[in-house]
Amino acid sequence: MAQISYLNGEFLPHEECKVPIDDRGLLFADALYEAWCSHNKVFFGSREHMARLRYGAEQIKLDIPWSDDEIIGVAEKLQELNGLTNTLVYLQVSRGVAPRLHQFPKDAKPSIFMTARPAKFPSWEDRQKGIKCVTFPDLRWGRCDIKTVNLLPNVLARQAAAEKGCYEAILIRDGVAIEAAAANFYAVLDGKIYTYPKTPRILGGITRSFIFKFAKELGIPIVEEGIPEEKIWTAQEMFISSVSIDVYPVTNVDGKVAGGGKMGPVSLALYKKFHEVNWGEPLKI
């Protein structure tokens, strides 16, 4: 079955979707994106993703002429057209096509495209084992709270991880773990979850917001503080979160066992909550 994608009002075979070379998303990374998933055809957090998209648009003064309902409707239609059950949707909105000048064009028309592909979630066995990570300097710009396509520093970090056979990179700035290259980062110390505060230095993850909600329901305290790099190897547990992985334990950093070397009780309790919400049934283990 040929993949169907969406571009500026049309559902097209993916290979027919073309972006002009003067699109400002291509020339300046003057574009925003979102990605979110469905489980058994039910999308999770669509409204929250739209709210973050609107926040980013406000920050970069980008007018988005499509309503939240229109965008969510396109995602649902793409899932149907592609015959998908568990779906990863990618949405990108750019300022549009204009001559290459740094200042905002006066008459550019925003461009939107969306793709839908099968979502691949970590298996229960992989979650139990956890992932390997490397530490890497945080080279990103000062507005990481805006979900732009300006991701080259993140690409370099993930490549460094891949070259060492690792899943992710934990970004370090001024001796503190900020977040991961494509996920938020957490450490459990003395029974409390520590994670970097929601500032322009991190992306306010949608999954992160649900971790806060679920942790409160479970009675697990969360402390919004940066995690000193030297505490990475002494934490009782560590994990990362994003839309496509929910909660994923970190068990090895820079070749050394970390987070107890396995999924711990806090990350397990949180994952159980996500599993119940996403799949509509308790985790069977």
Q: What is the pLDDT of residues 73-131, one digit of tens each?
A: 999 999 999 999 999 999 999 999 999 999 999 989 999 999 999 999 999 999 999 99
Q: Domain coordinates of the chain in residue numbers?
A: 4-118, 124-279
Residue 268 pLDDT greater than 90, yes or no: yes
pLDDT tens digits, one per residue of 120-164: 999 999 999 999 999 999 999 999 999 999 999 999 999 999 999
Helices (H), the chain: 24-28, 46-59, 68-81, 124-129, 152-163, 206-218, 265-279
Report residue 284's pLDDT band, with 50, 70 and 90 as the boundaries: confident
pLDDT above 70 as % of the chain: 100
- What mean pLDDT is reported for the chain? 97
User: How large is the average pLDDT for residues 206-215?
Assistant: 98
Q: Which two tokens stand for residue 81?
A: 């057209």
Interatomic CA distance for residues 147 and 163, integer angstroms = 26
* Among 162, 165, 159, 168, residue whose Cα is nearest residue 135: 168
Interatomic CA distance for residues 262 and 248, integer angstroms = 10
Q: pLDDT value at position 285?
A: 80
Residue type, position 185, single letter: F
- Given phi > 0 = left and psi -120 to 50 = alpha, else beta, which region is 64? beta
Confirm if 133 and 253 have CB atoms less than 8 A apart: yes
Distances (CA, A) of 128 to 94, 122, 131, 247, 261: 39, 10, 9, 11, 10
Confirm if 136 and 170 have CB atoms less than 8 A apart: yes
Residue 1 pLDDT greater than 80, yes or no: no
* Among 134, 140, 133, 173, residue whose Cα is nearest residue 154: 140
We find that the CATH architecture of domain 124-279 is Alpha-Beta Barrel (3.20)
- The catalytic site residues sit at 147
pLDDT above 90 as % of the chain: 97
* Among 174, 150, 165, residue whose Cα is nearest residue 254: 165
Distances (CA, A) of 62 to 33, 86, 168: 12, 31, 31
User: How large is the average pLDDT for residues 169-182?
Assistant: 98
Q: pLDDT value at position 58?
A: 98
Q: pLDDT value at position 89?
A: 98
Query: For 4-118, which CATH class?
Result: alpha beta
Q: pLDDT value at position 9?
A: 96
